[in-house]
């Protein structure tokens, strides 16, 4: 379908101003994600991505995604809403020690759909809209360590980590850290900050959490594919209203929560309050390069109905009574990676060790330098006693 006809269909979707702030959480089915691999149709369409991703959503995901193909070609989805064939992805997390890498399993993922209070018409994403937040090459801290979503104000920051813990008296980050050798704690939240935390995240059913907010104003003049210029943040219009710039289209505000099963590795490292052992697949040891991607494959009528009627909050949008197309209960919606690696990261067993990150990327950040381009054999699967509850829990929590 051509972009013009997509936007025409999009514009026809019923919409109205939203006079209260509501939200509903999208959850996912299954014990594993849709797929993994060096695929990124936003930044690297048609070719291998530099680094490895964990991907959720519809099975029409491909190296190239254009227009409504996710919706038109989708047959199943890991999303609990049957007519959401969108794709959601983040860089894979690894545990690094003694020159080896072990893939950290995703525990579960939630995507919050915030429907902001606004004078604008609040409408569904146009099919094929591509959004990216964060910077895979970043190795320095952002302007702020707390969440602050107004880029016109000091300390703008839309990306954090949250470290739920059994003991919040142990700092998540080194006191006084400026980001040059470790992450920085959120001054308003002892369990959150920017960069990887230096303590073990072992809150009940809540291990290390990657948090990412997306802007919610779409610029149709930039178009669906121009992820560098097609989105902006809404502005405070007073009395709690958040409005988009003139000519922009107000869409849902996405917020990703990605829980990584880091307690599985607790018996392999000792807290020293200064360092930590986790690294993203792009080689980043800091966590400052945390980033996420989204391509919309929603049926627009389904999402519009959810925007207009579903204020389920954390109970999940799958609990709302009026979902056109119904729910998906498919726990086996998976596809093979489209980039074949020399070693099989996808089906690796828990605690299997690899001598290199995918694409043989080097570590970078802090003592490893600022570059972005390997460093680091199979082990028997094991579940340490302190993580038994996590091992037994389903992916969806």
pLDDT digits (tens, 9 = 90+) for 75-120: 999 999 999 999 999 999 999 999 999 999 999 999 999 999 999 9
pLDDT on residue 12:
41
pLDDT on residue 16:
55
DSSP assignments along 119-166, one per residue: EEEB-PPPTT-EEEES-TT--S--S-SS-B--TTSTT-B-EEEE---S
Q: What's the predicted TM-score (pTM) here?
A: 0.89
88 vs 30, 302, 370, CA distance in Å?
15, 18, 28
Look at residue 259 and tell me whether its pLDDT is greater than 50. Answer: yes
CB atoms within 10 A of CB 76: 18
In the chain the first and final C-alpha atoms are separated, in Å, by 38
Percent with pLDDT over 90 in the chain: 82
Token pair, residue 334, equals 């998976």
Look at residue 264 and tell me whether its pLDDT is greater than 60. Answer: yes
Token pair, residue 30, equals 């299954």
- The Cβ-side half-sphere exposure at 296, using a 13 Å CA radius, reads 26
Q: With 0-12 CB in 10 A as exposed, 13-18 as middle and 19+ as buried, what is 32? A: middle
Over residues 293-329, the pLDDT tens digits come to: 999 999 999 999 999 999 999 999 999 998 999 999 9
Q: Which residue has the higher pLDDT, 184 or 2?
A: 184
Which helix (H) or strand (E) covers residue 304, if one does?
helix 300-309
CB atoms within 10 A of CB 268: 14
Q: Under a CB-based contact definition with an 8 Å cutoff, are residues 96 and 376 in contact?
A: yes
pLDDT on residue 14:
46
Provide the Cα torsion 393, 87, 129, 22; round to 10°: -20
C-alpha 234/C-alpha 242 separation (Å) is: 6
Q: Residue 266 — pLDDT band, cuts 50, 70, 90?
A: very high
Q: Under a CB-based contact definition with an 8 Å cutoff, are residues 58 and 76 in contact?
A: yes
Q: Residue 370 — pLDDT band, cuts 50, 70, 90?
A: low
Over residues 211-227, the pLDDT tens digits come to: 999 999 999 999 999 99
Over residues 137-194, the pLDDT tens digits come to: 999 999 999 999 999 999 999 999 999 988 878 889 999 999 999 999 999 998 999 9
Q: What is the CA radius of gyration of the chain?
A: 20
pLDDT on residue 351:
84
Query: For the chain, what is the mean pLDDT?
Result: 89
CB atoms within 10 A of CB 377: 7
Look at residue 383 and tell me whether its pLDDT is greater than 60. Answer: no
pLDDT on residue 208:
97
pLDDT on residue 17:
62
pLDDT on residue 18:
80
Over residues 3-42, the pLDDT tens digits come to: 444 444 444 444 556 888 999 999 999 989 999 999 999 9
pLDDT on residue 369:
67
What does the pLDDT average to over 66-81?
97
C-alpha 294/C-alpha 344 separation (Å) is: 25
């Amino acid at each position: 379908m051509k972009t013009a006809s997509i936007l025409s269909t999009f514009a026809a979707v019923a919409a109205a101003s939203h006079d209260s702030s509501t939200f509903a959480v999208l959850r996912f089915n299954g014990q594993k994600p849709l797929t993994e691999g060096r695929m990124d149709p936003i930044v690297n369409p048609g070719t291998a991505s530099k680094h490895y991703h964990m991907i959720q959503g519809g099975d029409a995901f491909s190296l190239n995604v254009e227009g409504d193909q996710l919706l038109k070609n989708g047959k199943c989805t890991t999303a609990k809403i049957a007519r959401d064939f969108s794709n959601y992805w983040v860089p894979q997390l690894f545990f690094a020690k003694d020159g080896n890498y072990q893939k950290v399993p995703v525990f579960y993922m939630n995507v919050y759909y915030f429907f902001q209070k606004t004078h604008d018409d609040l409408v569904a994403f146009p099919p094929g809209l591509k959004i990216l937040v964060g910077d895979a090459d970043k190795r320095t801290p952002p302007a702020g360590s707390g969440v602050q979503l107004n880029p016109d104000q000091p300390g703008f920051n839309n990306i954090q980590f949250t470290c739920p813990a059994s003991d919040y008296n142990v700092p998540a980050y080194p006191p006084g850290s400026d980001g040059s050798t470790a992450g920085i704690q959120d001054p308003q939240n002892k369990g959150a900050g920017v960069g990887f935390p230096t303590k073990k995240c072992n809150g009940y059913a809540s291990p290390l959490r990657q948090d990412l907010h997306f802007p919610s104003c779409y610029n149709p003049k930039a178009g669906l594919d121009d992820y560098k210029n097609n989105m902006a943040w809404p502005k405070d219009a007073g009395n709690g209203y958040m409005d988009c710039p003139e000519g922009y289209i107000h869409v849902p505000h996405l917020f990703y929560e990605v829980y990584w099963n880091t307690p599985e590795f607790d018996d392999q490292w000792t807290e020293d309050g200064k360092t930590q052992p986790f690294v993203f697949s792009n080689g980043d040891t800091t966590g400052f390069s945390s980033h996420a991607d989204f391509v919309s494959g929603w049926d627009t009528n389904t999402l519009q109905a959810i925007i207009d009627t579903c204020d389920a909050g954390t109970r999940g949008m799958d609990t709302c009574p009026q979902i056109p197309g119904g729910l998906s209960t498919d726990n086996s919606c998976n596809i093979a990676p489209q980039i074949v690696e020399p070693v099989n990261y996808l089906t690796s067993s828990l605690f299997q060790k690899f001598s290199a990150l995918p694409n043989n990327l080097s570590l970078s950040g802090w003592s490893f330098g600022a570059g972005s381009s390997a460093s680091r054999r199979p082990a028997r699967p094991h579940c340490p006693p302190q993580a038994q509850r996590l091992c037994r829990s389903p992916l969806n929590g």
